[in-house]
Amino acid sequence: MQDLEPFDNWHYLYLSEEDEQSPFYGREYSEFEFSNTIYNYYIHPLWDEFGSRTLYLKVLMADYELGYMIIEMIGEWNDAIENDIMTLKREVIDEFQQLGIRKFILIVENVLNFHSSDDSYYEEWFEESLDNDGWAVCLNMPVSSQHDFLQANLHRYVPLMEILNWRTMKPDMLFQQVDNYFHRRLNADSSI
């Protein structure tokens, strides 16, 4: 796991540790000191800790003008024991929502396990998003992690999408592709 680094091709556009509005502003990273672990496996030091013991993230892009952000995640998403959705919602999402971010792309291809609990924080996030013309999506969740997510019907609130070539895109192109998906979905729902 220590070899899995957050995607870094957009650093010339955005760094969360240099964004004065980000909860990760001012963080300093060592390329050589590995201190964060997921179940005794060290992870790369560029991943940001946000209060979960098993899930880490990196904000890859926050565009305050267009109101979207892209977050990459790694680890085990455990709502059953750790209530990771509450921690993510309160410590990261709420902070950015207060700054006008209302559309969230969660890249979860490195989330190796998902354990569900109740859906209250997902529902809260969904309702807040609807009220503000927003949305949230999980991108590229591994099939092995999708089982609990789908069984708990969390995809009603945070849909699952596949965009395998997202690394070849600029962030605004990725955002536009996901945003277009939601516009088509809304138009299809309203025509019923």
Instruction: Report pTM.
Output: 0.93
Q: Domain of 85: which CATH number? A: 3.30.750.24
> Using CA atoms, how far apart are residues 141 and 157, in angstroms rounded to an integer?
15
- State which amino acid sits at residue 139: L
Is residue 76 one of the residues assigned to a domain? yes
Is residue 3 one of the residues assigned to a domain? no
HSE-CB of 41 using CA atoms within 13 angstroms:
13
Q: Where are the alpha helices (H) located in 74-168, listed in sequence order?
A: 84-88, 94-97, 120-131, 143-151
> Using CA atoms, how far apart are residues 63 and 16, in angstroms rounded to an integer?
11
Is residue 109 one of the residues assigned to a domain? yes
Distances (CA, A) of 174 to 21, 116, 144: 23, 27, 24
Based on the number of CB atoms within 10 Å of its own CB, is 165 exposed (0-12), middle (13-18) or buried (19 or more)?
A: exposed
Is residue 25 one of the residues assigned to a domain? yes
> Using CA atoms, how far apart are residues 189 and 192, in angstroms rounded to an integer?
6
Is residue 45 one of the residues assigned to a domain? yes
Residue length, the chain? 192
Total tally of structural domains belonging to the chain? 1
- State which amino acid sits at residue 81: I
List pLDDT tens digits, range 83-135: 999 999 999 999 999 999 999 999 999 999 999 998 999 999 999 988 888 99
User: Which structural domain, as residue segments, surrounds residue 164?
Assistant: 16-184
Is residue 189 one of the residues assigned to a domain? no
List pLDDT tens digits, range 43-78: 999 999 999 999 999 999 999 999 999 999 999 999
